[in-house]
Amino acid sequence: EAQVTQNPRYLITVTGKKLTVTCSQNMNHEYMSWYRQDPGLGLRQIYYSMNVEVTDKGDVPEGYKVSRKEKRNFPLILESPSPNQTSLYFCASSPEAVLVWAQYFGPGTRLLVL
Amino acid sequence: GQQLNQSPQSMFIQEGEDVSMNCTSSSIFNTWLWYKQDPGEGPVLLIALYKAGELTSNGRLTAQFGITRKDSFLNISASIPSDVGIYFCAGQMTGNNRKLIWGLGTSLAVNP
């Protein structure tokens, strides 16, 4: 089954404790991205990757890091989480950047930073 | 970042009613998209529109790409309880194929 998986689905952590949210897709997609969703602010792109070893900032990259060492994986790293990073996070992938509109979204990771 | 003006923000309707929502922008888009997000899930693409004036249907859903390329609407006919969710519009700008601009969503509740 074609899918984007994220782990964990739910996470409660404390300020400053490094965490990683994993994202994996099984569709051999080149383009992957991370979004955060907040009430009243909609979906905002954090980082995106057009292919292996190619990443770039989205609209709200501050406080986040990403890496793309393999085509299928695109982890989101919070080196020192803060309460304002409490949010619902989505990973998404599409066959290539020009087809970003055809992206598949993962099920989401709900993060609470205390 | 830029966002689309999506309205209404929320709707509460009776089962069987028709629903209409729209998105407007000050910028021109070459693609308009409509997504639905079910509770606890990620958004799923419903309809993609590629040409000004285009009218496209997907079952009970109909969407149109505005003639000015600055707006789009989505209609849902004869709503059913499983239509509940958040509907997002998104636009892909001319010359910037990697980026989508998103609306803030329309939250739809359907009373059986």
Please state whether the peptide bond connecting residue B8 to the residue before it is cis, i.e. omega within 30 degrees of 0: yes
Question: A108, B40: Cβ pair inside 8 Å?
Answer: yes
What pLDDT, in 10s, does the model give residues B20-74? 999 999 988 989 999 999 988 999 999 999 999 999 999 999 999 999 999 999 9
Helix (H, G, I), strand (E, B) or coil at A84: helix
Rounded distance, CA B63 to CA A59, Å?
A: 28
| Locus of tokens 């949010």 | A87
Residue A93's nearest CA partner among A2, A4, A21 is A4
Closest-approach residue (CA) in chain B for A10: B40
What pLDDT, in 10s, does the model give residues A57-81? 999 999 999 999 999 999 999 999 9
Rounded distance, CA B36 to CA B16, Å?
A: 19
Which residue, among A51, A100, A104, would best test binding to B if mutated, counting the most B CBs under 10 Å from its CB?
A100
Question: A102, B45: Cβ pair inside 8 Å?
Answer: yes
Closest-approach residue (CA) in chain B for A42: B104
Banded model confidence at residue B1, pLDDT cuts 50, 70, 90: low
Question: B98, A45: Cβ pair inside 8 Å?
Answer: no
Rounded distance, CA B96 to CA A16, Å?
A: 36
Q: Is B86 on the interface with A (CB under 8 A)?
A: no
Rounded distance, CA B84 to CA B79, Å?
A: 9
Calculate mean pLDDT across residues A22-41.
Answer: 94
What pLDDT, in 10s, does the model give residues B63-84? 999 999 999 999 999 999 999 9
Task: Classify residue A77 by burial, with Cβ atoms within 10 Å: 0-12, 13-18, 19+.
Answer: middle
Sign of CA pseudo-dihedral B51, B52, B58, B63: positive
Q: Is B89 on the interface with A (CB under 8 A)?
A: no
Residue A1 scores a pLDDT above 90: no
